[in-house]
Chain A
Amino acid sequence: MIRPLIITSLTKTFDTASGPHIAVKDFDATVQPGEFVSLLGHSGCGKSTVLAIVAGLQQATLGGVIVDGREIDGPGLERALVFQSPCLLPWCNTRENVMLAVRQAHPKLNPKEQKELARKYLNLVGVSEFENTLPAELSQGTQQRVAIARALSLEPRFLLLDEPFGMLDSMTRFELQDLVLELWEKDRKTCILVTHDIDEALYLSDRIILMTDGPESKVGLELPITLPRPRDRRELADNQEYYRLRKVVIDFLEHHSRQFTQEKAA
């Protein structure tokens, strides 16, 4: 049985020169198998911190993350992370970058099968022609495609995306959003996306978790996105529900996320 990923009472404190800074406090969320969830909030609200803890790169000060009924204590190959920048190793060509992940996740395959698997995922994200190219010779968008291939080649159960399109121009961003959506439609892998792009969150997600402004940020609002799937960018442009949801999100970000902290201060 596949169980949900549970984030429970997650609190993260950073030690700074001016004393402890509580970035995230009592963050609770449950992500169902096969669900596409976005974490949305202003910059600096701690959404990336939450994702880094889920990925196992950072440790929660209090609370934790439960996967398969167990609290995680570090990175795991069942949780693949796509970073904000492609983070490809510059001294390895595209295939070797993916091979690095393949060898970790599929140690029992023989080298030939591993190579084929790497090729399969490069093909899946549409970069098979750049198999032998070094990352520096590729555009940001293509590099990020390779990074997605690397994450997928782990054949993870959870795909964690940390503002993966933030550094791209808007046309490339659309292309990659479509790619992620298409891949998700295929196998409904559980996805957690951190973003500050409202349209991106609406376009991709089943549910948006809106975070209040930091410090001590937490879940402000959980918004189910009931837009029909498969989604089409052009159809959404005429969809009334889309604009209603968009307004709710903007309302929250413009008003409530801050009001919440003001209330707390008062």
Chain B
Amino acid sequence: MQNSLKTFALSLVGLFVVGGLWTFLSLNVAPDLPSPWRTWQESKIYVLNPWEKRGEMDQGIGLMTAYSLFRVAKGFFLAIAIGTPLGFLLGASPTFFKMFDPTIQLLRPISPLAWLPLGLILFRQSEPAALFTIALCSMWPTVINTMTGVRAIPQDYLNVARVLRLSPWKQFTKVWLPATLPYMFTGYRLSLGIAWLVIVAAEMLTGTPGVGGFLWQEYNSLIYSHILLSILTIGVVGFTLDRMMGFAENKLRTV
């Protein structure tokens, strides 16, 4: 108890140090950068009325975040719906692994900014292009972790399945899936993190309403305090998502 209180106090100190640095920079080095206080003054209308819709790109921060989260959710579920079976196949079949691993290693490091134009060409609309980009970029941790999990299934359990002559389906549901589940969730957590990173880029480029789109629009309107508001929102939401997935992951580990 004493310890966790101390940890919390220290994290607050860290926050104040960074806030102080921000204030210092805005007052002395970069006059265009709004101070924390000015940021709050100029953007509190968005925070205090989070669900207010005044125009297409002029909406409360709650609504903007909801749009982005909804988009991320769709892209993320697409990613894990493709990534999980792919990971299982790669982990289970050496032939399949040898066939596709090089390609995957090649696709993995490609930036979302590179995929988005391709998505726009393919789908001719910003929404599916954004989903395509999110899914393609965030899929890989799920693929890799699921594959690792399948490979890490203890031989003992597989032997039990063989001795009991379990059908392939039963082997999958009774042995493979439960043994791999913790690894899968590690992959899901990392994938969701990436999906949230990608959404900002995708919205900036496509100009759709959401935190990323809002950020880009306010940059074009030269309202810098709103950019900072967006950045802070992105951080807070990303942190919350990660903690939620981490919680689910830990639940599974203890089982």
Name A's B-contacting residues (CB within 8 A): 55-57, 74-77, 80-81, 83, 85, 87, 89, 91-92, 100-101, 104, 154
Q: Report the Cα distance A101→B170, complex, angstroms.
A: 12
Given A77-B165, A81-B159, A92-B174, 19 extra CB contacts under 8 A: A55-B163, A56-B162, A57-B162, A74-B162, A75-B162, A75-B163, A76-B165, A77-B164, A81-B163, A87-B159, A89-B157, A91-B179, A91-B255, A100-B164, A100-B166, A101-B164, A104-B164, A104-B165, A104-B166
User: Is B248 in the interface zone, CB < 8 Å from A?
Assistant: no
Q: Which residues of B contact A83 (CB under 8 A)?
A: 156, 159-160
User: Is B178 in the interface zone, CB < 8 Å from A?
Assistant: yes
Q: Which residues of A contact B255 (CB under 8 A)?
A: 91
Q: Which residues of B contact A92 (CB under 8 A)?
A: 174
Q: Which residues of A contact B164 (CB under 8 A)?
A: 75, 77, 100-101, 104, 154
Q: Which residues of B contact A76 (CB under 8 A)?
A: 165
* 29 contacting pairs across A/B (C-beta < 8 A): A55-B163, A56-B163, A57-B162, A57-B163, A74-B162, A75-B162, A75-B164, A75-B165, A77-B165, A81-B159, A83-B160, A85-B156, A87-B157, A87-B159, A87-B160, A89-B160, A89-B174, A89-B175, A89-B178, A91-B178, A91-B255, A92-B174, A100-B166, A100-B174, A101-B164, A104-B164, A104-B165, A104-B166, A154-B164
Secondary structure at the A interface, as helix, strand, loop or mixed, is loop
Min CB–CB distance A19 → chain B (angstroms): 23
Name B's A-contacting residues (CB within 8 A): 156-157, 159-160, 162-166, 174-175, 178-179, 255
Q: Which residues of B contact A91 (CB under 8 A)?
A: 178-179, 255
Q: Which residues of A contact B179 (CB under 8 A)?
A: 91
Q: Which residues of B contact A75 (CB under 8 A)?
A: 162-165
Q: Which residues of A contact B160 (CB under 8 A)?
A: 83, 87, 89
Q: Report the Cα distance A104→B160, complex, angstroms.
A: 12
Q: Which residues of A contact B165 (CB under 8 A)?
A: 75-77, 104
Min CB–CB distance A56 → chain B (angstroms): 8
Q: Which residues of A contact B157 (CB under 8 A)?
A: 87, 89
Q: Is the CB of A57 within 8 A of B175?
A: no
Q: Report the Cα distance A97→B232, complex, angstroms.
A: 50
Q: Is the CB of A57 within 8 A of B159?
A: yes
Q: Is the CB of B163 within 8 A of A80?
A: yes
Q: Which residues of A contact B166 (CB under 8 A)?
A: 100, 104
Q: Which residue of B lies closest to A84 (CB)?
A: B156
Q: Which residues of B contact A55 (CB under 8 A)?
A: 163
Q: Which residues of B contact A154 (CB under 8 A)?
A: 164
With contacts A55-B163, A57-B163, A104-B166 taken as known, whether A87 is within 8 angstroms of B174 at the C-beta atoms is no
Q: Which residues of B contact A101 (CB under 8 A)?
A: 164
Q: Report the Cα distance A77→B161, complex, angstroms.
A: 11
Min CB–CB distance B240 → chain A (angstroms): 29
Q: Which residues of B contact A87 (CB under 8 A)?
A: 156-157, 159-160
Q: Which residue of B lies closest to A147 (CB)?
A: B160
Q: Which residues of A contact B175 (CB under 8 A)?
A: 89
Min CB–CB distance A58 → chain B (angstroms): 10
Q: Which residues of A contact B174 (CB under 8 A)?
A: 89, 92, 100
The 3 nearest A-B residue pairs measured at CB: A91-B178, A87-B156, A81-B163
Q: Report the Cα distance A255→B63, complex, angstroms.
A: 84
Q: Which residue of A lies closest to B252 (CB)?
A: A91
Min CB–CB distance B201 → chain A (angstroms): 39
Q: Report the Cα distance A101→B178, complex, angstroms.
A: 18
Q: Report the Cα distance A168→B15, complex, angstroms.
A: 54
Q: Report the Cα distance A56→B157, complex, angstroms.
A: 15
Q: Report the Cα distance A85→B157, complex, angstroms.
A: 11
Q: Report the Cα distance A154→B166, complex, angstroms.
A: 13
Q: Which residues of A contact B178 (CB under 8 A)?
A: 89, 91
Q: Which residues of A contact B159 (CB under 8 A)?
A: 57, 81, 83, 87
Min CB–CB distance A78 → chain B (angstroms): 11
Q: Report the Cα distance A80→B159, complex, angstroms.
A: 12
Min CB–CB distance B255 → chain A (angstroms): 6
Interface centre among B157, B162, B164, B255, by most chain A C-beta atoms within 10 angstroms, is: B164
Q: Report the Cα distance A100→B160, complex, angstroms.
A: 10
Q: Report the Cα distance A74→B159, complex, angstroms.
A: 12
Min CB–CB distance B152 → chain A (angstroms): 14
Q: Which residues of B contact A85 (CB under 8 A)?
A: 156
Min CB–CB distance B248 → chain A (angstroms): 16
Q: Report the Cα distance A100→B171, complex, angstroms.
A: 11
Q: Which residue of B lies closest to A134 (CB)?
A: B255
